[in-house]
Each structure stands twice: as structure tokens, then as C-alpha cells.
Amino acid sequence: MNVLIVEDERQLSHEIEIFLTKQGYHCDVAFNGKSASEKIFINSYDFVLMDIGLPDSNGLQLLKEAKEGGKDAAFIMLTARGTIDDKISGLDLGADDYLAKPFSLLELQARMQAILRRKHGLKNNTIQISDFLMDIQNRTVNHGSNQINLTKKEFDILHYMALHKNRVITRVQLTEHIWGDVLEDDYESNYIDVHMKNLRKKLSQYGNSDFIETVRGIGYRLNMS
């Protein structure tokens, strides 16, 4: 999943980036409002961690512009401000959560997971996919008592498709959300197909993997009831 960290305190942004990267997220960083605005409107993000007090703009204004532009990323506002007015303003503009500095990185991760559950209608950190159980927090996939040995990319692909179940996901969409920014020359690459082939092969060793459907000429769909 893609995360944009908008924070002018470089040490803090670096710490967040390192932590989230270890958790399997792909992170971009912006240190000011101009850079953040460009990245938000060019790229596709699952989360934007937005500092309100930027040196050249107000994070609330960037949030307003992003929502008016139809961006569906989940926004978590990060700020040293602790007033009720700031919280209300952010939430009224469409922020998904609000975290005052200083904060625990573990709390940030928990807030992000809670947003994912809420956004995708999950009751907990697990997703049942046919006879397989995906544990989002521990990044594991099990079939009964057997744990499937998936690579990081294979897990990320299955996770992304499970969150967008029953929808056709193009190869470009998968590439953008799993690898981050994509060069145009890479659009015809078959690496998504290779990873998908390996994922199916590993799953089929334990159960039926027909729930992963190839949509000819477009991409893939994960069929779930």
C-alpha cells in the first residue's frame, strides 16, 4: 500500500518512513505543501499522513483541495496543535483521523489498520478468502494449520485484491499500489503475471485457488462472497 508522508520535520518524517516501510508500506515523502499537492494529484495513495503546520501552506487547505479533487486516500492529520477547533475542522473536511504530536508509531499503525477495517467493512485484522485465512497484522496466510510461504509482493497482491474483492483490478493498478510510481515503459511488463502465477501455484498446493480470476486483456479479479 502507498503512503504519502507530508511532514516538514525531517527527522520525524524519516522515522515514520522507516517504520512504515518495515511494515510493508511503500512511502513517499513531501516536506512542504507544494510538493505534497503535486504528489497527491499525480499519484494514487492509500494513506496521506498530513501535517497541518507546513512552512508554505496549511494542511487543512491541502486536505480540502484533495477531497474536492475526488482523491479517496485516507487522511490522518498530524499536528502539534491540540485544539478542538483544529480537530473539528479536519474531520469536517473529510479527514479520517487525527493524531497529535508526539505520538507512538505503534499507535499510528493501529489507527491506519482501524481505518482499513472501517473502510473495507472488516470486523478484525483477518480476511477469509475461500478456505484461506489472511492475517493482515501478522502478514500471514493460512490454510487450516498450514501457513503458506508467500513473498512480500505475493502477500501484498493478495491483500490488495482482497480489499477490492469482486472488482476487476488492472495490471497498472496492481503495479502502482504494490511497487509505487510506475514508469510508462513498465506498463507492458509481465512481472505482475509472474507474481500472480507464483501466488496461484503456492495456494493451489493447499486448496482451490480458482477464486483468482484472470480478466483477459485487463487484469485480475478476486471473487469472494
| Among candidate residues 119, 154, 180, the one where a domain is terminated | 119
Calpha distance 210→138 (Å, rounded):
25
| Among candidate residues 119, 137, 160, the one where a domain is terminated | 119
Calpha distance 188→191 (Å, rounded):
9
As given in the structure block, the three cell numbers for residue 114 are: 482501524
60 and 148 part of one domain: no
60 and 165 part of one domain: no
Percentage of the chain modeled with pLDDT above 90: 55
Confidence of residue 189 (pLDDT cuts 50, 70, 90): low
CATH number at residue 151: 1.10.10.10
152 and 63 part of one domain: no
* pLDDT tens digits, 94-133: 899 988 888 999 999 999 989 988 887 777 888 999 999 9
Domains: count for the chain:
2
How far are the Cα atoms of 138, 139, 145, 195, 219 from residue 211, in angstroms, in the given order?
23, 20, 21, 16, 14
Write down the pTM of the prediction: 0.75
SS3 content of the chain, % helix, strand, coil (to 5): 40, 25, 35
Range of the domain at 63: 2-119
94 and 159 part of one domain: no
The predicted pLDDT at position 184 comes to 46
CATH number at residue 16: 3.40.50.2300
The predicted pLDDT at position 162 comes to 92
Computed from CA positions of residues 169, 202, 117, 4, in that sequence, does the dihedral angle turn out positive or negative? negative
| Among candidate residues 74, 103, 119, the one where a domain is terminated | 119
What is the arithmetic mean of pLDDT over 31-47?
A: 92
N- to C-terminal Cα separation, the chain: 24
Q: Three-class SS of residue 11?
A: helix
37 and 93 part of one domain: yes
* pLDDT tens digits, 57-90: 888 999 999 999 988 899 999 887 666 677 777 7
Q: Taking Cα atoms as reference points, which of 63, 22, 25, 74 lies closest to residue 180?
A: 25
